[in-house]
Structure 1
Amino acid sequence: MTGRRDADAELRARLRRAAGAHEPDRARILARVERSMAAGDGTTGHRGRARALPGWARVAGATVAVAGVLVAGGSLAASTVGENAAAPRPVAAPPGSREPGPLWSAGAVDPHSNEFWAQSNITLRTSAPLTALTVELRVAQTGSVTSTGAWRTLPEADFTFTAGARDGFLVYRWTLKPGRTVPAGEWMFAGQYNHERGGRDARGDRYSATATAASGHHSVEGGFTPRAGG
């Protein structure tokens, strides 16, 4: 009897360890399996009464059954997580300008701008290579607006750049040199400038871009989204 009790205790310990690795109601599953097996200790069809199984065998059977339930549950959970991870999340397109063709654009005041200085960013996206491109940024003269520089993510040597005051605007212009190509992708053009102290109103600022691709001539234009808190 001592050996049987030891076997029962060992199997119950295994059951607890297997069940402890999962969240389902282990007590309910075990009780259900044991009731089902207890019912099976009666007659087995026309062959008559089956011999009752010893306690340790019933526990072993319960262990295997519960383990099977837990494994199946774990597989289902893993499958569900995998599907959720693979499902693409819809992403809202940022506000911008696009006409029929390969170009998309957006303008925004850089979030690192401050009460004395600002940067205006033009994001230009093209789905096809461009053999000609001119990007123009027009910053309204709202008071003490003076250029402090400019940059672009494309190679500097590929562009001719000018900056200067014209008709009440500080105008930056980038022009792709003949024989150079802008590859498909997303690119940024930025103009930097000082201005009078305080939050500057960028509602009068504008940008435009004209380009040539295999499909023909294309253009986009727009204004600037203020920086957060600006």
Structure 2
Amino acid sequence: MDDKLRERLRTAVEAHRPDRERMLARLERGMAEAPSARTPRAPRGPLPWLRVAGATAAVCGVLTVGAYAVTSAGGQARGGQVAASPAPSASATTGPGRVPESRTEDGPLWADGAVDPHSNAYWAQSNVTLRTTEPLSSLTVELRIAQTGGVNTTGSWRSLPEQDFTASAQEKGGFLVYRWTLKPGRTVPVGTHMFAGQYNHAEGDRGADGDYFTASAARATGQQVSVGDDFTSDH
């Protein structure tokens, strides 16, 4: 390159004045057209924590619907409220009570119950007097003493031969229960017989209103008879 060419190029560069306003205008047009010129991108799915939250909400919804369905199947009262189960009756929660029907005589069998007059403020004896006008081929006598506080057995006895009976005493359902059962092959003769249960109790004059007895037997013919009653206090 000769000196004349270099001089001409330098002169041209020095003489050049760029059009600033035109350049800015082109830049602004390019920026305005950039979004439309870009390739559109597919929308991204929800963020991971949003997807988890959505799944949790769906599960809760299913559980709520399921619980409502079960409740509806179980029974509803009017107005959409769930009907409450009825409370158990008193007889269902207090266990065995007094003899349901007083019967002191049945066929040849008669019986009576009373607290022995020799009972005191700490100890008592309850007597079951049994009378039969016919021989009995089986007999079970049960005496129930209500647990009114401190009731515990001190023994029992019967006027009939001891070897003819199986005897027991145990706590059961809020009672001290005495039971005498005639052994197979033995017979209860005609006459008046006594069965007695003895027990301690809390200090004081113990009421016998909750006590009762039952007796069931079989006549020689095989017919079943039974009696039962509550107690009266004689002291």
TM-score range, shorter chain: 0.5 to 0.7
Structure 1 counterpart of 2:224, from 201, 217, 224: 217
1:48 alignment partner in structure 2: none
Contact 1:134–1:175 at 8 Å: present in 2 too? yes
Q: Does 1:110 align with 2:116?
A: yes
2:145 alignment partner in structure 1: 139
Per-residue deviation at 1:227?
A: 1.6
Within a 5 Å distance, the mapping from 1:65-144 to structure 2 comes to 97-99=104-106, 101-144=107-150
Paired residues in the alignment total 133
Contact 1:96–1:106 at 8 Å: present in 2 too? no
Moved over 6 A (4+): none
Contact 1:133–1:212 at 8 Å: present in 2 too? yes
Contact 2:112–2:128 at 8 Å: present in 1 too? yes
1:226 alignment partner in structure 2: 233
- Using the size of structure 1 for normalisation, the TM-score is 0.57
Cα distance in 1 for residues equivalent to 2:177 and 2:166 = 14
Cα distance in 2 for residues equivalent to 1:204 and 1:106 = 15
* Cα deviation 1:135-176 (Å, max 9, x = unaligned): 000000000000000000000000001100000000000000
Cα-Cα RMSD: 1.3
- Using the size of structure 2 for normalisation, the TM-score is 0.55
Contact 1:96–1:107 at 8 Å: present in 2 too? no
Cα distance in 2 for residues equivalent to 1:157 and 1:180 = 10
Per-residue deviation at 1:96?
A: 7.6
Give the residue type in structure 1 aligned to 2:126.
S
Contact 1:132–1:181 at 8 Å: present in 2 too? yes
1:203 alignment partner in structure 2: 209
Cα distance in 2 for residues equivalent to 1:223 and 1:112 = 19
Cα distance in 1 for residues equivalent to 2:133 and 2:209 = 29
Q: Give the secondary-structure state (helix, strand or coil) at the position aligned to 1:157.
A: helix
Give the residue type in structure 1 aligned to 2:115.
V
Cα distance in 2 for residues equivalent to 1:133 and 1:205 = 20
Cα distance in 2 for residues equivalent to 1:116 and 1:223 = 21
Per-residue deviation at 1:214?
A: 2.4
Between structure 1 and structure 2, the one with the greater Rg is 2
Cα distance in 2 for residues equivalent to 1:169 and 1:227 = 21
Give the residue type in structure 1 aligned to 2:219.
A
Give the residue type in structure 2 aligned to 1:116.
Y
Identity across the alignment (%)? 62
Q: What 5-or-longer segments of structure 1 have no aligned partner?
A: 1-94
Contact 2:103–2:227 at 8 Å: present in 1 too? no
